[in-house]
Structure 1
Amino acid sequence: MKKLLPIFLLVTTLYSCRTNRIPNEEKDLLSLINRLNKKGSDDKLMAEIQNVYNSGYIKAKQRLDNYQYDPVPAKWDRLIAELEGIQRMYDIVNRNAYAIRMVKPVNVYPRLMATKDSAANDFYYYASDQLLLNTRAGNREAYYAFDKAMQYVSNYRDAAVKMKEAFDKSIVQVLVNNFEYDVLGLGSFGWNSLNGRDRQYHSNMIRDLGGQGSNSIPARFYDQYELRRNGKSPDFVVDLIWRNVRFDQNPDRNRTYNRSKQIETGKDTANKPIYTTVVATVYVTERELNATGDLNLIITNTDTREQVLWDRIPSNYRYTYEFARYTGDKRALDNNDLTLINRSNNQPLPSRDDAMGEMIRRIYDQTVNRIRNTVSW
């Protein structure tokens, strides 16, 4: 039992999702009972009901007999699913007094409840054994096994209290260090260069991970100040180091295109419009900033000094700015042309601070999720 349960915890969940469907017999039986309720009585219809019920019951009974020999805990979900199916057929037939007398469906409710209780009991004692191991892996197994027990029987014994105990015993303290910049050739660029924006992202990251009050995963997250203030020692340390950062401003790119348009310039002697073709040439200048970099996300277990995660998360930011001038007849231009022409040719590109802040923003959610998944169970 102790060896098999961890292997099957996930399997039982997947299997229960797969077997919780209404068999064809149940659908057919429901349709027939509804027809019988409308007619009052019908021998032919009753014969169909008996055949459908008997067929469904025999198949379910055969599967039940086979599942008895399956290993635990996989067999519990299978047994319960079949018993629930039989009970649903009983409830369907029970909607018609005539049908209940003729078909005599089997009420398996007591057996269903007893089976659920046996399943809950199995998982409860397995979870209790895992909790005694006093390891984080054991606590995790215990947490989900206690939860599984309560899925079978609501409020089973003290499983809810034991679940909380398993969760609390698994809580780890996580230090999330400030962003660092391992960037050569960029002068003083680094911490504090983003006008406090990277500090804000760092603060938001700790908040979004759950801070010191997370109830979703057994971990508490701190910056260096809060860790010292609370007198905690970290179980995991998260380092956020930017490397291979580049800010490339390419030479201006120029392109030219022509516009032409027929406009009404007068009327002829017959009062018909006279059209004249006007033309203009638009000269567009495009300026571009390309920023790229890799965030190295390193998570270290302080007890073993093992780097449990070292991920390189690439990010990039591309900004383009276009402006234009023209020659020729302005009447040939459209609104898009005028928008470009009205732009300033002295508009500065985003600063390195702006570009770096944008690169952090673009991988922010991904970074938070990787930290959470690594230090969680």
Structure 2
Amino acid sequence: MKTISRLRYFLYLSILIVGCTTGKKALQKGNYDQSVFKSVDRLKSAPKNAEAMYVLPVAYDLALKEHLRKIDEAKVSSDVLRWETILSHYQKINQLSDEVNSSPVALTLVKNPQKYINEVEDSKYKAAEVRYTLGVNQMSENNRVSAKSAYYNFEKAQYFYPTYKDVKNKMDDAYWAAVVKVVVQPVKVNSSYYQLSNQYFQDQVSEFMRSYQTNRFVIFYSEQQANAQKITPDQVLRMSFDDFIVGQTYVKERVEKLKKDSVLISDSRANGKVYGTVRATLSVFDKQVSSSGLLAMTIFDYQTNKIIRQQRLPGTYLWQDSWASYKGDERALSKQQLQMTKRRELLPPAPAALFVEFTKPIYAQLVDEISYFYNKY
């Protein structure tokens, strides 16, 4: 009985799947394009499927009429971008035609499916013409925001019709009118001793600026690059470690009185096993070496020298070490405590290395801050 039930279940499931893949449900929901694609796909695997053979011509006719109706509506609309709508519908009609042509059975059901090659090319040209004109008008406004919009319009025009007029040159002009050029000055530190450590931070910042791609309309230059390319910046980014402390050391001692009962004291033939209490004094030393600093980050407008943004980014690095010593009977100590007494005090990293360590969290904040700030441009 279980076997029969399973067969019925799989038979029902197979019928359901076939119904879904013939395109009938999509047709009933008014998804005519989807219905065409599904019914053709079904006929490729099952050329004699009656339901798919019924669905295809009905769905194709309805899909074609719907697209042609929307094309006519768009042509008389006031939408400045109407040619993009028209193009989209012509392309969808051509996709339907290609799909029908991919199946011999489908071609017997939908004879000579229509294809609009010239109309597509004409629509692309007119769509590019509109975008190009919008871009030219926006460029005449002579401001960065409008230039950015113009760039996107020229980019669209080139997408629709790559050889349209001088669209490539217009796109380049719009880009450089829209881009924000930022000169990043070398990171300063008010100590000659930490110049080498500061260079590590400087190298990280320089690499980030070189690889920055979050916003295509922002370009970072070093001072050397700006001078070599004769760049007049829009903004200047200055950074300096004005306030920092390296190697501030704290040592704390904790003293614990330990005892352990029922410890085997001796074991002899005369007296047997003797148990007693053992005691010890444990001194635990905790050493911390703290290093911290603040990076002052300031962004200036180059023309006015006014501050656009100012932040102080903190960073801290804490180096720690622990060791111990004891007096008394070591049997009063746990294994972990005894292990600590075998450790010796370690020397902390050199000050230059500690400087590098506290700058690492500062760098992470700096990246986030710059990415957030320039994302709006």
Q: Which band: TM-score by shorter chain? A: 0.5 to 0.7
1:114 aligned partner = 122
Q: Secondary structure at the match of 1:127?
A: helix
Q: 2: distance between equivalents of 1:300 and 1:177? A: 11
Contact 2:182/2:218 (8 A) holds in 1: no
What pairs up with 1:16-165 in 2 under 5 angstroms? 25-41=32-48, 44-61=51-68, 64=71, 69=77, 71-73=79-81, 75=82, 78-104=85-111, 105-165=113-173
Partners of 1:221 and 1:116 lie apart in 2 by 38
Q: Structure 1 length as normaliser, TM-score?
A: 0.66
Question: 1:202 matched to which residue of 2?
Answer: 202
Aligned residue number for residue 321 of structure 1: 321
1:345 Cα deviation after fit: 1.2
- 1:347 match: secondary structure: coil
- Residues 255 and 330 of structure 1: CA distance in aligned 2, closer, same or farther (over 3 Å): closer
TM (norm. structure 2) is: 0.66
Pair 1:362-2:361 in alignment: yes
Letter in 2 for 1:128: V
Amino acid corresponding to residue 310 of structure 1 in structure 2: Q
Q: Is the 8 A contact 1:64 1:82 kept in 2?
A: yes
Post-superposition CA distance 1:198-254 (Å, at most 9, x none): 13432542354239xxx955635123x666677665442212144665666555264
Offset at residue 91 of structure 1 (A):
1.6
Question: Aligned pairs, how many?
Answer: 322
Give the partner amino acid of 1:32: S
Unpaired stretches in structure 1, ≥5 consecutive residues = 1-22, 182-189, 261-277
Computing the radius of gyration over CA atoms, which structure comes out larger, 1 or 2?
2
Describe the shift of the 1:101–1:318 C-alpha distance in structure 2 as closer, same or farther (beyond 3 A).
same
In the alignment, residue 359 of structure 1 is paired with which amino acid? F
User: Aligned runs of 1:229-248 on 2, under 5 Å?
Assistant: 234-242=233-241, 245=244
Q: Displacement, 1:300? A: 0.9
Partner of 1:333: 335
Which residue number in structure 2 is paired with residue 16 of structure 1? none
Which stretch shifts more, 160-169 or 90-99? 160-169
Distance in structure 1 (CA, Å) of the matches to 2:282 and 2:160: 74
RMSD (CA atoms): 4.4
| 2-structure distance, mates of 1:304, 1:144 | 29
Distance change in 2, residues 1:241/1:134 (3 Å): same
The amino acid that maps onto 2:97 is Y
Cα distance in 2, alignment partners of residues 197 and 101 from structure 1 = 78
User: Could you say what secondary structure the match of 1:178 adopts?
Assistant: coil
Deviation, 1:150, is 2.0
Distance in structure 2 (CA, Å) of the matches to 1:93 and 1:255: 88
SS at match of 2:348: coil
On the 8 A contact 1:171/1:220 being kept in 2, the answer is no
Worse overlay, 308-317 or 90-99:
308-317
Separation of aligned partners in 1, 2:183 and 2:38 = 61
**Structure 1 position 130, deviation (Å):** 3.3
C-alpha separation between the residues in 2 aligned to 1:97 and 1:218? Answer: 54
Measure the CA separation in 1 of the matches of 2:231 and 2:55.
71
How much identity, in percent, do the aligned residues show? 19
Task: Determine which structure has the larger helix proportion and give its number.
Answer: 2
